[in-house]
Structure 1
């Protein structure tokens, strides 16, 4: 049986091998609470969605309480030329999931971008709740500076040269190789690369 905050008690038939996640799906079908908004508890203990009923020590006749996690609307300023975007998130959403919501709503690529709240760069594995982000909070999306790699090589003349490029940007890599070929007037395979360091 499960019981939500409005005191509706409903009975559910499940097997011990079924997961808590399956239970959240059934609850969603019956009372229209999204699975990710459900926090299921037995005797005050939060039940992990990935565990089975038997591993969660649930038995026939146990009562499960359903807490409804509130959705909060946050605004994300995405920079010049773009309108702020409002997304709905849960307290237990990770910052990575927030960026996924933002990408779906805005169409902007999240490649090499970070979110900032109250002056702090948000780590992707941490949750909305970890950063005390509430309904009405404002976040900022920033482009991280690209990581550069210095490619040191020896020219056929014996001179040592260094070129810097962004290894995640195919155009930058191709341009760097073409510059080496142009300067040497020979194939890149004849250039001897002996050191590669990251900044």
Structure 2
């Protein structure tokens, strides 16, 4: 993804929580810039976005409840100290998640502000909603522009990509399918047969260009 972003001259940033799951590659990426600079760059990227899709991300507190986000998070303190901050106000947040608890919490908040009430009154959210409550659910559910999609990303993303491409008049040469389907099995076989190891020489050539 990083390489394709560089080739297409599109910004690609690895979020701070995702560095942990990136193995030694994550450590090297993390060492390229400071933690503060990474958070600032992500804030500027999100500031320019109208729609933010959270997909296959374990922790998304950088987006809502982040250190530089004013609307749902802790960015008020950063703004007060003079740092560049951004706001999620007026933006659309889409989260693709397998956890049905997200939808339950979202419905409770959108229907009557239960999450906000729990925060104000200092109530334990897990006991209040009777579901395993993850931290990122709070900021997401409280945002009026949030849209939860409960499903497997392997199923949801191809549908999103297909419909967006259709609306834009783009013909897709390749479309992913869930691995448990026949089309998905053929796709996986094609990847095994045709995707080759990284060419280091080509990588360096692209880097120098």
TM-score (norm. length: structure 1):
0.22
Flag the structure with higher strand content: 1
Which of 1 and 2 has greater Rg?
A: 1
Flag the structure with higher helix content: 2
